[in-house]
Structure 1
Amino acid sequence: MDIEIEKEQIAKAQQDKKEFAPIYTVYYQKILSYIIKRTNCVQVAEDITSTVFLKAMISIKKFKCTEFGISPWLFKIAVNELNDFYRKKKCVSLDQLMEDANFEPENFGDHLTEVRLTQEKIDNDIKGGLIRKELQKLSIKYQDVISLKYFENKTIEEICLILDKKEGTVKSLISRGLKKLKKNFKLTKDINKDEKEVQPFATKNVILLEQS
């Protein structure tokens, strides 16, 4: 969605919550895909994503648009919900959004089908699977910055907006997180002696991330 068109749609949604539907349609898959990568579970990701959009719709009047549009704000809510989920291990029904919002997003079924196919592809990708598995062993603060930068291709400035952190802090977290991630791969390699062909791929991938 073009940024100017998006701003107009946001303004409409701030006046009438039913106008939130186009925003939901554009960003649902992106947020769901991100949460799937963080949780490794489609069902849990669906529940968390429903909460993200429900909260976004309820709070849309408070949102102030920036040059990046609504995306950083939605990801910020997603990060907060993910962190809350890991702390409390609770989530809500996906149907809640439909009931409370009183709208039917376009091609909703297509979104879920495509995301599930993406999930299957990632699960079959040795490197992707290893990276996500090891990433989840890190502290949440490292998972947040690394997943946003390398899974979602967010800029440092966008990550700062999403996490409410200064640029130096974000860069430092990324650097420290990648070092810990690389160390985890080395430990995994040492423990799993039989995976001699798999681990070098993963280690090489982390080194490439560090050089980015």
Structure 2
Amino acid sequence: MDDNQESVELLKQISRGSRDAFDPFYEKYSAFIFNIAYQVTGNRIEAEDVCHDVFLEVFQKSSQYQPDKGSVRAWLAVKTKSRSIDRLRKKKPLLIEKLEKLSLQEVQGVDLQFLKEIENHLIHDALVHLPKPQREAIYRSYFAGETHKEIAEIMKKPLGSVKSLIRYGLRNLRKQKSIFNWTESSGGGNRHEL
């Protein structure tokens, strides 16, 4: 029995209510799910919550898995990514944390994919309120996927100026309370003033 067949069999048993099948399934995939959730959210606590949500859904709705649409691993990856993005939408301050982390490094791979998959219209609406040079630098960096060096060449500005435009633009985005829920990431109800 190959690895995927073993997982399919465990899912069948879980769908019949077997807790004995759930334990090895959890052991097999918990690190995999956590890593995806952490890559998307960039936050350990949020990633743990996503893991909990995904495994709860697996336990309650394991019959949703369709073998003809891909492996169990791929099904879990899609489910985890989707739950992670949903969680970011609900906890919008995490979005700004993610953008700030990305501003310190070149945008590539998972980070660029993350930014393309979240609600781009939310950021686009916020960008309208920024000064044009900040808006252009942020757009080029996060939506066009251009490096800071490429942006500097296109905008005919020094590299340091481009980095400053992005940094100040992100600060200005933080001030736009209309696009963020100003609650703590832990879900507390206290409003924060910047």
Structure 1: unaligned runs, 5 residues or longer: 91-122, 144-177, 195-212
Give the match's secondary structure for 2:115. Answer: coil
TM-score in terms of structure 1 length:
0.46
Structure 1 counterpart of 2:115 = 138
Give the CA deviation at 1:6.
2.0
- Alignment of 1:181 with 2:182, yes or no, is no
- Alignment of 1:43 with 2:45, yes or no, is yes
% of aligned pairs identical? 19
Give the CA deviation at 1:11.
1.9
Give the match's secondary structure for 2:68. Answer: coil
- Alignment of 1:193 with 2:170, yes or no, is no
Give the match's secondary structure for 2:66. Answer: coil
TM-score in terms of structure 2 length:
0.50
RMSD, aligned α-carbons? 4.1
Structure 2: unaligned runs, 5 residues or longer: 93-100, 121-141, 162-194
Give the match's secondary structure for 1:181. Answer: coil
Map of 1:82-97 to 2, 5 A cutoff? 82-89=84-91
CA displacement, residues 37-66 of structure 1 (integer Å, 9 cap, x when unaligned): 112111111111111111121101332323
Map of 1:85-124 to 2, 5 A cutoff? 85-89=87-91
Q: Which moved more, 1:33-42 or 1:6-15?
A: 6-15
Map of 1:142-161 to 2, 5 A cutoff? none
* CA distance in 1: counterparts of 2:32 and 2:17, whole angstroms: 23
CA displacement, residues 102-153 of structure 1 (integer Å, 9 cap, x when unaligned): xxxxxxxxxxxxxxxxxxxxx9xx97x754796278332699xxxxxxxxxx
Larger radius of gyration: 2
Give the CA deviation at 1:16.
2.4
Give the CA deviation at 1:5.
1.9
